[in-house]
């Protein structure tokens, strides 16, 4: 009887239209896995952090910790070489390993030794260079140099020692020491190996964005293939390798997988629960299950309309969007309860009965969710827009599609099984206030246990898998915690402007280091000073190297040279550098851009300089951020400060959301 009362041509049209809209929205919409795009940019700390994270060249870097059961460096290097070759052949990466850095580092050392007079400030000369000129220290330094020349490690070092016998270049290069992933490392055959020789670090820069799940899947498949190949090659030799990869690609895959599984679970459990209630709540169970239809159609229509205004939707909105079914199914239930009666009913009669009942509910729900755009959180705005449209379309479909598909409904043969309805009738049927007082007492009793705990720790909201978290913990333990650093970004029209800005930034950071706010800082101007800084440093150098000081050093080095075995005049080249004064301002050579953190932005329209700073004992995040961010060309990303600020914003945003919806 029910099937005969359905207008099948209209039902088929509705099903076909829903399938077409679903396909269109799916093909038009792409899921945005990068949650940083939905951060509230009206907060300067969050906006600056998002900008730095988006443009930082290492945001997509893949890092692999390689270890072997044998535990010797030769085996590690062999395994690393095999992985790097596979990475290079895959075409997925711009660069693999440290070859780029190794090729330019010797040239960088030569540059430093030739330009020592313009690389020290007056304070550095007094605090770091002057102690090296004490005769006893000079004798000790030359004795160490001579001992190195007699060993294998001193091969090819003679010219370098003649040009810089006191090791002044090391003072300059040490400014970059904190850029290394860890102080407890050694370089073996051009690769970074942990101090215990049990771990080797492999790095690679993808060509595409690692947060693009299509790219991330290819990288993940390549890493797994490399692990399988190593196992196949070395297992017969009694050696097994462990590859521990970390990077944005793993987070992207985990986020997508988590969102998909959570959404599927939410929809499945909600659907099962609703179906069970509908089966026992309607005289004809089939009609009760149809209450899900408007909610599904409303969700499909909302997705299609959303795709007309935007081609991307946040993964957060997708996750919350699945809950639409749970609260829009009520409209279908209300309609069908009036349609499924013990006597004959019509679709239009049911519409007239429930129109007013659901109208106010629909309007309050849709408007309250729509107003989430004032929350300041774009992800909440997307959720609100999506939910509001789903509610409206569901209500429309209930009152347009159902009356057409079910014009007349024959009477039901039974009254249905409705235990919940009977329970409510019994509870609310009595006029006695005893039940009211009992309910109030129960409420007050439970209120004593209602201690809401707002957790704003970002780590507790992480959606990455346990395997990824364990991998990150291992890499952090072995190679250091990158989240303990500060990331400073300077932006300008060109590299020359960056160099000019860097001169000023270098002076400011030096003061922060001296005050204990920072323990280490480096910007390219500390090695490639601009016009003003070069002039100041050269003036300080000339003032420091007075004729008397130069003469005293010559005597001390002459005495020490004779005692240690150096030839007379072995250090003439160094004294020529001391007296040199013909330095001209120069730009930063392009070959050093990568190692110095200089990269083009927006296709080369602007340039960015990315520096790593280390907080010191006197570091206070808010005060330091206020000083650094006072210039429009400088932005700072402090992971800890960012997490604290974002946690507070998320908390306030969700409280605001609750108030708006309420």
Tens of pLDDT, residues 68-89: 887 778 888 889 899 989 998 9
588: left (phi over 0), alpha (psi -120 to 50) or beta: beta
pLDDT for 155 equals: 46
**Alpha helices (runs of H) in 282-377, residue ranges in sequence order:** 285-289, 292-309, 315-321, 324-339, 347-370
Those residues with Cβ within 8 angstroms of residue 217's Cβ, 6 or more apart along the chain or in another chain: 253
Mean pLDDT of the residues in the chain? 81
Residue 192: pLDDT band (50, 70, 90) is confident
Q: What percent of the chain is modeled with pLDDT above 90?
A: 11
> For residues 642 and 485, is the Cβ–Cβ distance under 8 A?
no
- What average pLDDT score do residues 246-259 get? 77
Mean pLDDT, range 452-472, rounded to an integer: 65
Q: Which of 487, 488, 492, 486 is nearest to 633 (CA)?
A: 492
Tokens of 290: 């149809």
- Asked if the model's pLDDT at residue 156 lies above 60, the reply is no
Strand locations in 529-577, DSSP E? none
Average pLDDT over residues 113-120: 90
DSSP letter string, 76-109? HHHHHHHHHHHHHHHT-EEEETTHHHHHHHHHHH
- Provide the pairing of β-strand 191-194 with 185-188: antiparallel
User: Cα(379)–Cα(259) distance, rounded to whole angstroms?
Assistant: 14
Closest CA relative to residue 201, chosen from 180, 176, 229, 231? 180
DSSP state of 383: H
Report the SS3 class of residue 553.
helix
pTM: 0.72
Mean pLDDT of 376-391: 80
The pLDDT assigned to 154 comes to 45
Q: Are 264 and 221 in contact (CB under 8 A)?
A: no
Q: Can you tell me the mean pLDDT for 24-29?
A: 84
Gyration radius of the chain's alpha carbons: 35
pLDDT number for residue 224: 92
Q: Taking 60 as the threshold, does the pLDDT of residue 267 lie above it?
A: yes
Cα→Cα distances 325→295, 316, 336, 387, 390, Å: 5, 17, 16, 10, 9
| 18-45 mean pLDDT | 76
pLDDT of 375 above 50 = yes
pLDDT attached to residue 37: 61
* Helical segments of 492-620, H only: 495-514, 531-544, 547-564, 572-578
In the predicted model, what is the mean pLDDT of residues 105-124? Answer: 88
Structure token digits, residue 139: 């004798």
Please report the pLDDT score of residue 540 as a whole number.
93
Query: pLDDT per residue over 468-503, tens digit each?
Result: 878 888 888 877 776 678 999 999 999 989 999 989
* Percentage with pLDDT > 70 across the chain: 84
In which band, very low, low, confident or very high, does the pLDDT at 434 lie, cut at 50, 70 and 90?
Answer: confident
Question: What pLDDT, in 10s, does the model give residues 619-637?
Answer: 999 899 999 888 888 999 9
pLDDT score for 635: 92
Place of tokens 């009992």: 438
The predicted structure's pLDDT at residue 489: 93
Average the pLDDT over 599-610 and give the result.
87
- Token pair belonging to 326: 């749970």
């Amino acid at each position: 009887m029910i099937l005969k009362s359905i207008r099948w041509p209209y039902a088929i049209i509705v099903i076909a239209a829903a399938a077409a809209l679903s396909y269109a929205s799916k093909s038009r919409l792409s899921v945005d896995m990068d949650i940083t795009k939905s951060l509230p940019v009206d907060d300067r700390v969050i906006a600056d952090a998002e900008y730095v994270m988006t443009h930082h060249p290492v945001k997509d870097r893949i890092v692999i910790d390689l270890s072997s059961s044998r535990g010797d460096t030769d085996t590690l290097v062999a395994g690393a070489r095999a992985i790097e070759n596979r990475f290079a052949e895959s075409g997925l990466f711009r660069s693999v390993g440290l070859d780029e850095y190794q090729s330019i580092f010797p040239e960088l050392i030569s540059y430093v030794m030739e330009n020592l007079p313009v690389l020290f400030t007056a304070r550095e000369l007094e605090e770091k260079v002057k102690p090296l000129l004490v005769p006893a220290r000079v004798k000790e330094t030359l004795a160490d140099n001579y001992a190195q020349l007699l060993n294998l490690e001193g091969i090819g070092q003679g010219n370098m020692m003649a040009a810089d016998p006191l090791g002044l270049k090391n003072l300059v290069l040490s400014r970059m020491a904190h850029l290394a992933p860890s102080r407890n490392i050694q370089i073996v055959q051009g690769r970074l190996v942990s101090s215990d020789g049990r771990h080797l670090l492999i790095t690679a820069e993808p060509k595409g964005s690692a947060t693009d799940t299509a790219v991330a899947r290819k990288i993940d498949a390549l890493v797994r293939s490399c692990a399988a190949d190593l196992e196949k090659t070395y297992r017969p030799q009694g050696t097994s390798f462990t590859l521990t990869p970390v990077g944005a690609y793993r987070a992207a895959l985990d986020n997508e997988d988590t969102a998909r599984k959570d959404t599927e679970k939410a929809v499945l459990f909600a659907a099962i629960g609703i179906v069970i209630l509908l089966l026992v709540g309607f005289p004809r169970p089939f009609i009760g299950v149809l209450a899900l239809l408007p909610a599904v159609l409303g969700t499909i229509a909302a997705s299609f309309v959303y795709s007309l205004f935007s081609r991307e939707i946040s993964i957060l909105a997708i996750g919350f969007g699945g809950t639409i079914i749970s609260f829009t199914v009520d409209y279908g239930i209300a309609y069908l309860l009036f349609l499924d009666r013990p006597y004959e009913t019509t679709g239009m009669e049911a519409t007239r009965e429930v129109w007013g009942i659901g109208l106010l509910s629909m309007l309050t729900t849709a408007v309250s969710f729509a107003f989430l755009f004032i929350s300041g959180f774009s992800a909440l705005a997307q959720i609100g827009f999506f939910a509001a449209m789903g509610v409206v379309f569901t209500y429309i479909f209930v009152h347009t599609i159902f009356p057409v598909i079910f014009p007349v409904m024959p009477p039901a043969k039974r009254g249905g099984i409705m235990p919940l309805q009977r329970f409510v009738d019994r509870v609310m049927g009595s006029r006695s206030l005893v039940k009211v007082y009992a309910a109030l007492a129960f409420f007050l009793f439970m209120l004593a246990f209602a201690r809401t705990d707002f957790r704003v720790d970002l780590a507790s909201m992480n959606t990455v898998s346990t395997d990824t978290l364990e991998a990150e913990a291992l890499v952090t333990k072995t190679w250091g915690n990158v989240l303990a650093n500060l990331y400073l970004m300077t932006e300008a029209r060109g590299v020359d402007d960056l160099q000019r800005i860097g001169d000023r930034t270098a002076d400011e950071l030096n003061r922060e280091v001296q005050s204990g706010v920072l323990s280490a800082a480096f910007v390219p101007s500390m090695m490639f000073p601009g016009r003003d800084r070069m002039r100041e440093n050269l003036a300080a150098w000339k003032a420091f190297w007075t004729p008397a000081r130069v003469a005293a050093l010559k005597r001390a080095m002459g005495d020490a040279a004779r005692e240690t075995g150096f030839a007379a005049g072995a250090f003439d080249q160094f004294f020529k550098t001391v007296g040199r004064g013909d330095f001209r301002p120069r730009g930063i050579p392009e070959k050093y851009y990568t190692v110095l953190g200089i990269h083009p932005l927006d296709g080369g329209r602007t340039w960015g300089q990315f520096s790593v700073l280390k907080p010191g004992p006197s570091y206070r995040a808010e005060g330091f951020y206020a000083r650094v961010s006072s210039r429009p060309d400088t932005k700072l990303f402090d992971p800890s400060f960012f997490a604290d600020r974002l946690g507070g914003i998320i908390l306030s945003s969700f409280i605001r959301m609750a108030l708006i919806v309420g």
